[in-house]
């Protein structure tokens, strides 16, 4: 039972997934810091308020933290764009390049040199004009 668990853990998929999660979490921290420390102050400066993340709308005894919500939305959009442009798009392009085009099927008909009608490739005489065909096989 433990040997199966050991095989599961040592498979490449699990290790790759673990590395991806750790790197994704670190990347998330970087993007959150970028939004909170650089982008939000720039947006706040345009809006006249230096700390945009502190923007709140009072509703009764509580507050709606609009600034924090906008920080989360901006962080999500940056992460989604980074994942799309740095992971999804290159992988899709690579898969498309490696995909082989289907080979065309061998021809089953040929043209009669006399009447130009389509006839079976094995025919030795044209059924339309009854001319005798040479032994050569011509493709469409």
Q: Are 93 and 42 in contact (CB under 8 A)?
A: no
Q: What is the pLDDT of residue 136?
A: 54
DSSP bridge partners of 120: 109
CATH number of the domain bearing residue 93: 1.10.1200.120
Q: Do residue 59 and residue 109 come from a single domain?
A: no
Q: Do residue 41 and residue 77 come from a single domain?
A: yes
Q: Give the domain range for residue 68.
A: 10-98
Residue 3 lies in a domain: no
pLDDT tens over the chain, length 140 residues: 778 777 776 666 777 777 788 888 888 888 888 887 887 778 777 767 666 677 788 988 998 888 888 888 888 888 888 888 888 898 888 888 888 878 888 888 888 888 888 988 888 888 888 888 876 544 44
Q: What is the pLDDT of residue 20?
A: 82
Q: What is the pLDDT of residue 138?
A: 46
Q: What is the pLDDT of residue 135?
A: 63
Q: Do residue 92 and residue 124 come from a single domain?
A: no
Residue 36 lies in a domain: yes
Residue 2 lies in a domain: no
Average pLDDT of the residues of the chain: 81
Task: Tell whether pTM > 0.85.
Answer: no
Among the listed residues 63, 113, 62, 61, the one whose alpha carbon sits nearest the alpha carbon of residue 53: 63
Q: Do residue 80 and residue 127 come from a single domain?
A: no
Q: Do residue 109 and residue 68 come from a single domain?
A: no
Domain count within the chain:
2
Q: Are 133 and 113 in contact (CB under 8 A)?
A: yes
- Can you read off the two tokens belonging to residue 22? 């750790």
Residue 5 lies in a domain: no
Q: Do residue 109 and residue 85 come from a single domain?
A: no
DSSP bridge partners of 111: 118
Q: Do residue 30 and residue 71 come from a single domain?
A: yes
Q: Do residue 63 and residue 25 come from a single domain?
A: yes
Residue 74 lies in a domain: yes
């Amino acid at each position: 039972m433990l040997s199966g668990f050991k095989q599961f853990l040592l498979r490449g998929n699990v290790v790759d997934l673990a590395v991806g999660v750790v790197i994704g979490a670190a990347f998330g921290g970087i993007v959150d810091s970028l939004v909170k420390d650089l982008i939000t102050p720039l947006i706040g400066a345009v809006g006249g308020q230096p700390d945009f993340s502190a923007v709140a709308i009072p509703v009764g005894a509580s507050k709606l933290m609009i600034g924090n919500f906008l920080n989360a939305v901006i962080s999500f959009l940056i992460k989604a764009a980074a994942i799309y442009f740095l992971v999804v798009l290159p992988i899709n392009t690579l898969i498309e390049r490696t995909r082989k085009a289907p080979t065309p099927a061998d021809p089953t008909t040929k043209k009669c040199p006399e009447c130009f009608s389509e006839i079976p490739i094995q025919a030795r005489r044209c059924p339309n004009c009854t001319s005798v065909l040479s032994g050569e096989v011509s493709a469409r």
